[in-house]
Amino acid sequence: MKKEVIIVGGGIIGLCSAYYLQKEGHQVTVIDKSNFTTGASFVNAGYITPSHFMPLAAPGMITKGLKWMFNSSSPFYVKPRLDLDFFKWSLAFKRSATKEKVERAIPVIKDINLLSRDLYEDIKNSTDFKFHYERKGLLMCYQSDKVGEEEWQIGKRGIKEGLVVKNLSKEDVDKLEPRANLNIKGAVYFDSDAHMTPSDFMPEMIKFLKSKGVVIYSREEVLDVIVSDKSVSKVITNKREIKANEVVLAAGSWSPLITKKLGIKIPIQAGKGYRIDVSRDTGITIPTILCEAKVAVTPMHGFTRFAGTMEVGGINHAINPARVNAIANAAKHFYNGLDISLEEKANADCGLRPCSPDGLPYIGRSSKCENLTIATGHAMMGWSLGPATGKLVSEIISDKKTTIPLDAFRVDRRF
């Protein structure tokens, strides 16, 4: 049955949901407070990452987080603050960071990433889009034996999960990246991964959706959501009131601000990530993570992107120069002769990733609202999981059996 669907949020999750919903014949309206040129969906590393099957809430992260808490340039920085929601989220994170819960999460995260990669390739192979997409895998480069052994342990787990993973020497890496001039001891290579240029894909998707009759409202903020009989009856923005049969909430880090109005609690903290773009030739051709620094490096369409850090400090877009410098210093430390200029650092940008306590997204309906589908909490995998989430959202609203089980992504799950 054809339905009228409102999607709140125009990032990668919202647009992919619109894409699959319109394919099912639904009438879709997308609302976003931005102008569709900013945010995490534009400043991310562009990774499609079956390799990233370890959730953020893993054993040892609490210890690392405490060690890094007072270092504003550390890879994972938690800004201390008196905030009840943050305190509850932190407790839930701690409860989630157990070996047993991580073991259950690994195949779930891997499977949804593989599904999403296949869907990206379906989109790429259609005649509707032109955007940069390559599958060259991912290098996890390390400078110390200790980190190298840790990465290889994860690599061996990836092999157990059916992924193709190789343990490479520096000489092996130099053959793959002869012009990058890497200062490393070795790397763990995941064949499974792909990469894109987000600023290529997003305008292409918006253009396509408009051509298919999807209504897109930019610079509109949702002020209220009216509920009657456990269903959303109306969405009120700063410009209009809209009625719909179904509502999809894909507002990223802002999602809890809306669910609170509905009496639905979804623990999310905004994790700020930064990026620096370098337009000159760097010699880098394969996506690479600089392990000790937790910096992602992506050869994109016309430039190389250096992205990283996780700063949990509430919703704000303030640029912290110390964190920008940390990314630039990591690039210099890992790539001999690569200096990121003051101008390149001055043009750095950031985006907010919506982080759930257990590292798994929220995808599905809440028992408290019958016609609301929530799709958020993807943390650093938002770009990677866009198409898979969009397809699952479409299947939920179209009353179809979902491609993969949704149990692990339950909106009302307890921590």
Backbone angles phi, psi at 331, to 5 degrees: -60, -45
69 vs 76: which has the higher pLDDT: 76
Per the domain annotation, does 344 fall within a domain? yes
pLDDT of residue 64: 65
237: pLDDT strictly greater than 70: yes
Measured CA distances, 368 to 14, 68, 89, 244 (Å): 22, 38, 21, 18
Per the domain annotation, does 295 fall within a domain? yes
Per the domain annotation, does 176 fall within a domain? yes
pLDDT of residue 28: 98
291: pLDDT strictly greater than 90: yes
Per the domain annotation, does 405 fall within a domain? no
Per the domain annotation, does 338 fall within a domain? yes
CB burial of 313-327 (b: ≥16 within 10 Å; e: otherwise) equals beeeeeebeebbebb
Per the domain annotation, does 74 fall within a domain? yes
pLDDT of residue 234: 93
SS3 at position 128: coil
The candidate with the shortest Cα–Cα distance to 192, out of 218, 169, 166, is 166
pLDDT of residue 69: 61
pLDDT in tens, 117-163: 999 999 999 989 999 999 999 999 999 999 999 999 999 999 999 99
Give the CATH number for residue 296.
3.30.9.10
Number of domains in the chain: 1
Per-residue pLDDT averaged across 81-89, rounded? 86
Q: What is the pTM of this model?
A: 0.95
pLDDT of residue 66: 60
pLDDT of residue 217: 97
- Taking the alpha carbons at both ends of the chain, their separation in whole angstroms is 36
Per the domain annotation, does 111 fall within a domain? no
**Domain housing 168:** 53-82+133-193+268-355
106: pLDDT strictly greater than 70: yes
Per the domain annotation, does 15 fall within a domain? no
375: Cβ contacts below 8 Å, ≥ 6 apart: 13, 14, 17, 248, 249, 250, 361, 362, 363, 389, 390, 392, 393
